[in-house]
Structure 1
Amino acid sequence: MFRDPVYDGAADPVIIWNKQAKKWWMFYTNRRATDTTATGVTWVHGTRIGIAESGDGGTTWTYRDTANIGYRPNPGYTHWAPDVVEDQGQYHMFLTYVPGTFTDWNHPRVIVHLTSSDLLNWRYVQTLPLVTDKVIDASVFRLPDGTWRLWYNNERDHKSIYYADSPDLQFWTDHGQALNERGEGPKVFRWHEQYWMIIDKWQGLAVYHSADLLHWQAQPERLLEAPGQALDDQAIGGHPDVVVSGNRAYLFYFTHPGRSKAHPAPNNSIAAKRSVIQVVELEFKDGKLTCDRDKPTFVRLLNQR
């Protein structure tokens, strides 16, 4: 659906309606897949958050810019995997921040809170008081009582999913483990009269459902584990967002096309590193979520006020 024109490494998408521009905006981690000077895993560090926009309900997407994020306290700073919500006319971003560009994974990362009035320029508010100094991948959801819950990945606890609550997006209380499962990129949403959480298991996307947002029941089948047949869709799907629009729901995810089992690219090659954003419509059948990535997807995100 979309390729980043700068480094060809679009990943970790999140979609939100831009009230000012009257368009859908997509934020994504802009991995530096085509950087031939990168060593180790520096190509997934030193990243900025890319922005693409759609004026036709999500059918086509055009690169816009990188987000102007006013939080850069360390040289070679890294921005990863944002989640963005709107509340009372203001946008809030919860962003993974890594204090540098590193060759390995053995460094701290935190989740920071930023605000914006236009989705382009972001002001630092705070670093969230979570349980460790190695947390990633925020997913923020408004609870039925109007308060907020944030799920994230605690890398120091076997990469399981933790959560924190806030009455106002400003003050947060961490409540510990939400899901004793190893995975990244939690995404929580409501559809068909129940709550869903999807996490990236690196072997497809695991699905859980809940009636109370506290107790989660696993669905046996994973999504996007089997390869698709379309261009750049022949590898597992990763780190998704879900947009519920009307009575339909769309799963936005990314793939590494060069990591297909059938035709793997050489390790550390540009072909193995590049990633693209794809989309498939979710279906609800017999109490489960399914999707057919080889079925044509006609995206129609409804405009919002």
Structure 2
Amino acid sequence: MTVLFRDPVHDGATDPTLIRHRDTGAWWMFYTARRAGHDGAGVEWVHGTDIGIAVSTDDGAHWEYRGIARGLEYEAGRNTYWAPEVLWHDGTYHMYVTYLTGIRADWSGPRHILHYTSADLEHWNFVSRLELSSEKVIDACVWPLPPEAGGGWRMWFKDEADGSTIHAADSPDLFSWRPIGRALEGDQAHEGPTVLAHAGAYWMLTDCWDGLLVYRSTDLTHWERQPGAVLAGESPAHHAVAIGQGEDAGLLVYFTQPEPDSAPRRSQVEALPLAVVDGALTPLVSGTLPPLRADLTVPLRGGTAH
């Protein structure tokens, strides 16, 4: 694995997502900036979080901290933002981010997904609070639906009111969303879905808290799970984003807590190459991390500069 980034302020970078800036060509990483050093009650340290930003101008080899996303203020006071999903479509950047009011010492209270837009990745404007399957939804992942599936977009997310299963919603335009129910019917609790298209199939990875589960689909609706979990063990991978890179399956970017005993709150963003091996989507633990290639990345995240 390659360590991409550690948050220099709170040392708690989690839930990374990557997108290429259409004008500058730089790659931007948005992430949840957990407050690893906060010594308040309970799980306050994972609340009151901002969305951090790091930028790479050398195709992912080095990342520089650039502060926090601006314009996300939804209500007065100090509130909580988690798990950004950022994509580009038709000249506009879109962010779907999990939101909780205040700073909580436990896992109680409602949580929602908010929608923002931007012209430059720096200045964000609130659009709406999505009405999805419950009042406890987090971790949006968005992917375009192919014409044979009716076009538009599909969002996957975790519904904590339904056993922390993965649900889905469809949209014709990225603005209005219609919940369609469980995406992985009868499956176990998990979170943080991410989707990749490669080798004639779609692949979804989810965080099961002991590594990542992998699913395969040919239509974005019916999913078959690979046996076991990948990147499990003492310091497992959590909440990943998969970036397609042409004939190679691409890159898997995720976070870990590399010192679970001595510093259990500290986290860092790591990456591994991905490939399909014997029909299974596989992180190449011994592989060399290639540069991020915009010309090989679907327009959702990469594309070409203007």
Matched AA of 1:153: K
1:153 paired with 2:153, answer no
TM-score (norm 2): 0.91
Tell me how far 1:294 sits from its aligned partner: 4.2
CA distance in 1, matches of 2:183, 2:272: 27
1:23 paired with 2:26, answer yes
In structure 1, the residue matched to 2:219 is: 212
In structure 2, the residue matched to 1:277 is: 269
In structure 1, the residue matched to 2:43 is: 41
Tell me how far 1:55 sits from its aligned partner: 1.0
Matches within 5 A, 1:1-305: 1-35=4-38, 37-145=39-147, 146-179=151-184, 180-226=187-233, 235-248=235-248, 249-259=250-260, 264-265=261-262, 271-302=263-294, 304-305=303-304
Contact 2:20 2:294 (8 Å CA) reproduced: no
Tell me how far 1:101 sits from its aligned partner: 0.5
CA distance in 2, matches of 1:226, 1:134: 29
Superposed CA offset, 1:234-263 (max 9, x none):
x1010000111222210000001121xxxx
Tell me how far 1:9 sits from its aligned partner: 0.4
Match of 1:156, SS?
Answer: helix
CA distance in 2, matches of 1:302, 1:126: 30
Tell me how far 1:222 sits from its aligned partner: 1.6
CA distance in 1, matches of 2:45, 2:179: 31
Q: Percent identity?
A: 43
Equivalent pairs, count: 288
TM-score (norm 1): 0.91
Matched AA of 1:293: V
Tell me how far 1:49 sits from its aligned partner: 0.4
CA distance in 2, matches of 1:294, 1:7: 30
1:69–1:181 CA distance, 2 compared to 1 (3 A): farther
Q: Comparing 63-72 with 38-47, which one deviates more in the overlay?
A: 63-72
CA distance in 2, matches of 1:291, 1:131: 32
CA RMSD of aligned residues (A): 1.3
Superposed CA offset, 1:153-204 (max 9, x none):
0001110000000000111110111113310100112111101110000111
Match of 2:99, SS?
Answer: strand
Matched AA of 1:240: A
Structure 2 gap segments, 5+ residues each:
296-302
Match of 1:68, SS?
Answer: coil
Tell me how far 1:74 sits from its aligned partner: 4.1
Tell me how far 1:108 sits from its aligned partner: 0.8
In structure 2, the residue matched to 1:231 is: none
1:166–1:119 CA distance, 2 compared to 1 (3 A): same
Contact 1:250 1:299 (8 Å CA) reproduced: no
Tell me how far 1:22 sits from its aligned partner: 1.5
CA distance in 1, matches of 2:133, 2:292: 39
Tell me how far 1:283 sits from its aligned partner: 1.6
Structure 1 gap segments, 5+ residues each:
228-234, 266-270
Superposed CA offset, 1:46-98 (max 9, x none):
00001111111111111112000333314221010010111111001000000
Q: Comparing 285-294 with 117-126, which one deviates more in the overlay?
A: 285-294
